[in-house]
Amino acid sequence: MKALRKAVRWSSAALVPGELVLVLCVAGGVPIAPAVRLAVELAVLALMAAATALFSLDYRRHRRDGLDRRPAFLAALADTVPAPVRKLTAHEFFLSTSFLRWVTRRGPHGVRDGDLPVPYAAGQTAVMYGFLFVCIVETVGLAYLISWPVVHAVTLVVDIWGCYFVIALHASCVVRPHVIGADGSLRLRYGALLDIRIPADRIASVRLDRKFPDGRPATVDENGVAELAVAGQTTVTVELTEPVRYLRTLGKPAEARAIRFFADDPASAVAALRAGDPSAGTSRTSDLSGSAAIRRTRRQ
């Protein structure tokens, strides 16, 4: 089983780019020897058959272990498809749905009655639109400079996708804000890339704390602190009573004892978290004005 799984993954890494090159050559009118085309197509069919057989074996194994159909299907999918591939595929799907939600103005995702959305996208708006402007200039410039038809078509598709990716990424950050639950829980997100859920009973303390980290998003340092920076800064620090596990951007599991994140209005976020903590009675008096403002926002 392990040998078959390894063979399928390595074959996918080799054959999928080869198939893409073959399709581009055919589309661009580059002559391909019939033997080469036949060999590539047979290899792809063999890979699909092996992947299907591996998935079927994993599915049956999980069913024998007592899982229902849906959990067994998801477990078999996790066994067959590498975590980064699953994560990136899901990210592309959620980017599209977030973009449609942003265009149709359907409101924030994952915010229920009584929850408080905590926006963070405003801190990166200038940077994202700057990236978009650069992508548009590059797309137009390369469209005029490249004269080879195949290279021109490939570059144009990639550049247009790049423009869409920048817009959709920012849109996903707008429609997927952080969420403070009615029960005092905290859900931290960065678009469709990250989703960290912190139960209310694991929040030990929260404070305003502006930092300028230089590490990668959601990486955990030697002190067990994870940082969700926006535009290179964080504004709120949450200390936890016990570690919280989550998945990083490419599906790698991580565990943090404290989390720093960015909020457009950090004072209101801190006040809401303190007001939702039964042990924070001493903080409620000092945060009365902020809590009142948040309650007015929720009624609206």
Q: What's the rounded mean pLDDT across residues 143-167? A: 85
Torsion of the alpha carbons at 108, 111, 112 and 118, rounded to the nearest 10? -120
Residues 210 and 234 sit within 8 Å (Cβ to Cβ)? yes
pLDDT in tens, 94-134: 899 999 999 998 889 989 988 999 999 999 999 999 999 99
Query: Tell me, what's the pLDDT at 19?
Result: 63
Which residues fall within 8 angstroms of residue 192, CB to CB, at 6 or more apart?
A: 90, 91, 94, 95, 98, 172, 176
Residue 77 banded pLDDT, cuts 50, 70, 90: confident
- What is the dihedral sign for C-alpha 119, 124, 128, 129? positive
pLDDT in tens, 137-148: 998 988 888 887
Tokens 């599915």 belong to 59
Tokens 């940077």 belong to 127
pLDDT in tens, 247-296: 888 778 899 999 999 999 999 999 999 886 433 433 333 333 333 433 43
Query: Tell me, what's the pLDDT at 240?
Result: 94
Res 178 pLDDT > 70:
yes
Q: Which residues pair with 239 in a beta bridge?
A: 205, 258
pLDDT in tens, 1-36: 667 666 766 666 666 666 666 666 665 566 777 787
